[in-house]
Amino acid sequence: MNNDKKEAGHKFLARLGKTRLRPGGKAATEWLLQQAAFTPQSQVLEIACNMGTTSIEIAKRFGCHITGIDMDKQALTQAKQNIAKHNVSHLVNVQEADASKLPFANNSFDIVINEAMLTMYANKAKVHLLKEYFRVLKPGGKLLTHDIMLVNPQQATAVIERIHQAINVNAQPISYNAWLNLFATIGFTDIKSDHNDMTLMSPKGMIADEGLLGTLKIIHNALRKQNRAQFFTMFKTFRRNSHQLNYIVLCSTKPK
Ligand SMILES: C[S@@+](CC[C@H](N)C(=O)[O-])C[C@H]1O[C@@H](n2cnc3c(N)ncnc32)[C@H](O)[C@@H]1O
């Protein structure tokens, strides 16, 4: 990859073969899925569905209809192939849309899930996005989110700069209290949360998320000459800052 054209960390990992592009991996997503009572009748929206990994899992596990949106055309092409491969085309529809202008009516969905996206935005934009998620949720509906949390907000500037250098995305992780306050400010209630060490690039997390064969394929691709530098920069940055960064998952309710 040409250094002048810096590839975003999540696109890079997807190119290497990673299917889960989120800080807490499968375990954190599982916590989220346990919080909302999915049924075959649930109307579900996944915002930032990327290649469709979570949408496909939800459709297969709960038999419900799910709409996935993302802004990335290439990821959506991959999502369509994955949906067909897993025989869930009758349950999962994906479309190109911007999360800040959702093309859905007010009060449309029982559950909205959004993993590893809000962190990419500045605080003002996070507020705007969350208002949009609140709008499309039905009263009593659940919002499930998965993001990066700063363990020690005093170190914010230095950590954010190091992450920016590694993933080429202007990520804006915030503290535990700041995440909780943000959701409360929008009007969400009954906010439940969990947080723990990030697993995105740890060897254990990689194997849990992608299996042994999947991990070997990713490592094989990462060691190719054109990928090596970016892979090790990301790997070392996440490892060196592991005590400063956690994943955070939240389940928030739109009041009835
Ligand atoms: C880090 S990836 C996470 C993908 C997936 N949710 C996962 O956890 O594996 C972030 C995704 O957010 C999408 N995205 C970023 N901003 C968006 C927006 N405003 N509207 C829709 N999708 C957006 C990107 O295209 C990308 O697919």
Task: Please classify residue 164 by burial: count the beta carbons closer than 10 Å to its beta carbon, then call 0-12 exposed, 13-18 middle and 19+ buried.
Answer: middle
Run of H or E including 41 = none
Summarize pLDDT for 42-83 with one digit per residue, the tens.
999 999 999 999 999 999 999 999 999 999 999 999 999 999
Ligand 1 centre and the CA of 215: distance in Å?
22
% the chain with pLDDT above 70: 98
- In this prediction, residue 5 has a pLDDT band, given cuts at 50, 70 and 90, of low
pTM of the model: 0.96
Ligand 1 centre and the CA of 226: distance in Å?
24
Mutational test site, ligand 1, from 11, 18, 50, max ligand atoms within 8 Å of CB = 50
- In this prediction, residue 131 has a pLDDT band, given cuts at 50, 70 and 90, of very high
pLDDT at residue 173, as a whole number: 96
pLDDT at residue 132, as a whole number: 98
For the Cβ of 200 lying below 6 angstroms from any atom of ligand 1, the answer is no
For the Cβ of 10 lying below 6 angstroms from any atom of ligand 1, the answer is yes
What's the rounded Cα separation, in Å, for the pair 52 and 76? 8
10, 125, 173, 222, 231 from 169: Cα distances, Å: 9, 15, 12, 19, 15
Q: Is the pLDDT of residue 201 over 60?
A: yes
For the Cβ of 207 lying below 6 angstroms from any atom of ligand 1, the answer is no
**Mean local confidence (pLDDT), 188-207:** 96
pLDDT at residue 2, as a whole number: 39
* 143/155: higher pLDDT: 143
Question: By the 8 A CB rule, do 59 and 88 touch?
Answer: yes
For the Cβ of 117 lying below 6 angstroms from any atom of ligand 1, the answer is yes
For the Cβ of 20 lying below 6 angstroms from any atom of ligand 1, the answer is yes
**Mean local confidence (pLDDT), 200-206:** 95
What's the rounded Cα separation, in Å, for the pair 182 and 253? 13
Q: Is the pLDDT of residue 93 over 80?
A: yes
Q: Is the pLDDT of residue 1 over 70?
A: no
Ligand 1 centre and the CA of 234: distance in Å?
18
For the Cβ of 11 lying below 6 angstroms from any atom of ligand 1, the answer is no
Domain 9-253 has CATH 3.40.50.150: yes
* 48/2: higher pLDDT: 48
pLDDT at residue 234, as a whole number: 95
For the Cβ of 125 lying below 6 angstroms from any atom of ligand 1, the answer is no
Summarize pLDDT for 179-189 with one digit per residue, the tens.
999 999 999 99
pLDDT at residue 40, as a whole number: 98
